[in-house]
Amino acid sequence: MPLVTSTEMFRKAYEGGYAIGAFNVNNMEIVQGITEAAKEVNSPLILQVSAGARKYAKHVYLMKLIEAAIEDTNLPICVHLDHGDSFEVCKSCVDGGFTSVMIDGSKHSFEDNIALTKQVVDYAHAHGVVVEGELGKLAGIEDDVNVSEEDAQFTNPAEVEEFVERTGVDSLAIAIGTSHGAFKFKGEPRLRFDILDEISKRLPNFPIVLHGASSVIPKYVDMINANGGNMPGAQGVPEDMLRKAAGMAVCKINIDSDLRLAMTGTVREYFAQHPDHFDPRQYLSPARANIKELVKHKIINVLGSNDKI
Ligand code: G3H
Ligand code: 13P
Ligand code: ZN
């Protein structure tokens, strides 16, 4: 099975009322945990790589790890650049074998976002690669994605048709109240499903992408806090809201923070229980196993992409 684009995945997901999980990968244990889970429940997958991940692990290592996972599992996998912020980084991922790239021009003006996105689409499409654009700004802080709450803004539905038409993007990330990281809501979680609904009416049969979609699973936050960590107030997107979005026009749901929390919680607990251990294989094995369990749970209970190959 070669690498695939997300075109067919999204078409089926839209029709079937489910979503494809787009999981961020940074090292071997994460790639293995995710792909072993998807294999067991027969799910298509998007593995996404951020600029920070490319800096940390190097493009070639991540690409080879993903190729190894495909050989091992025979799954249809799409490799996607997460939050590309320039034509150059998108081009380098297209040239380097990715089947999908995101150009995140959301920090620019509408016109500049269109011009940049169209430049990436022209290059990517000429090489058989699909493109995700973004309209609206998510709040949140991770390594290379940093937008303050004051700068965040919901997607304006009145702009989406013109954006898609003039850029030629294959999918569109929108802002409806999710944010990156582990602290997504101060009070009651709220998403603007009315905006999603309006966008899907204006863009019939068009795949929408939800970033910042980790649920910040309490089990792993508790594991962190019980073992020397300090993450009071961590809160994510409730699973029933994600299921609702997956039943609407959302075909791609981005998950990174949940993987980080599962890995960190597991490693913290391991060291609390085995303070004298120092073999990385000993603490990374349970971390990988918990990533696998987490991804299986997401696929079956949140995304609904199991048995869709
Ligand atoms: O949305 C951002 C992703 O979670 C990647 O984060 O830039 O820290 O790798 P990163
Ligand atoms: P989370 O921080 O909610 O996992 O979002 C990840 C994401 O949107 C990657 O692009
Ligand atoms: Zn994101």
In this structure, what token pair is assigned to residue 72?
């091992």
pLDDT of amino acid 143? 55
Count Cβ atoms within 10 A of the Cβ of residue 190 and give its class: 0-12 exposed, 13-18 middle, 19 or more buried: exposed
* pLDDT band (50, 70, 90) for residue 151: low
Catalytic residues, which ones?
A: 82
- Comparing 34-43, 142-151, 224-233, the range with the smallest average pLDDT is 142-151
In this structure, what token pair is assigned to residue 148?
């303050």
pLDDT of amino acid 146? 63
Rg (CA), the chain: 18
234 lines ligand 2 (CB under 6 A): no
3 state SS for 191-242? CCHHHHHHHHHHCCCCCEEECCCCCCCHHHHHHHHCCCCCCCCCECCCHHHH
99 lines ligand 2 (CB under 6 A): no
Residue nearest to ligand 1 atom 9, measured at CA: 52
Please state, in angstroms and rounded to a whole number, the distance separating the CA atoms of residues 146 and 248.
28
Q: Are the C-beta atoms of residues 145 and 188 closer than 8 Å to each other?
A: no
Count Cβ atoms within 10 A of the Cβ of residue 278 and give its class: 0-12 exposed, 13-18 middle, 19 or more buried: exposed
Q: Are the C-beta atoms of residues 256 and 263 closer than 8 Å to each other?
A: no
Q: Which is more confidently placed, 147 or 102? A: 102
Please state, in angstroms and rounded to a whole number, the distance separating the CA atoms of residues 293 and 33.
8
Q: How far is the CA of 135 from the centre of ligand 3 (A)?
A: 12
Instruction: Give the contacts of 236 (CB within 8 A, at least 6 positions apart).
Output: 182, 184, 189, 214, 215, 216, 217, 257, 258
Residues near ligand 3 ion, CB 5 Å cutoff: 211
Q: What is the pLDDT of residues 233-247, one digit of tens each?
A: 999 999 999 999 999
Angle at 240 between CA 236 and CA 244, to 5 degrees: 115
pTM above 0.75? yes
Q: What is the pLDDT of residues 186-207, one digit of tens each?
A: 899 999 999 999 999 999 999 9
Please state, in angstroms and rounded to a whole number, the distance separating the CA atoms of residues 140 and 149.
7
pLDDT of amino acid 139? 74
144 lines ligand 1 (CB under 6 A): yes
Query: Which amino acid does the sequence have at 288?
Result: R
Q: What is the pLDDT of residues 2-39, one digit of tens each?
A: 899 999 999 999 999 999 999 999 999 999 999 999 99
Strands 139-141 vs 146-147: parallel, antiparallel or unpaired: antiparallel
Strand partners, 79: 47
Q: How many CA atoms lie within 13 A of 168 on its CB side?
A: 13
Give, for ligand 1, the residue of 59, 85, 144 to mutate: max count of ligand atoms closer than 8 Å to Cβ.
144
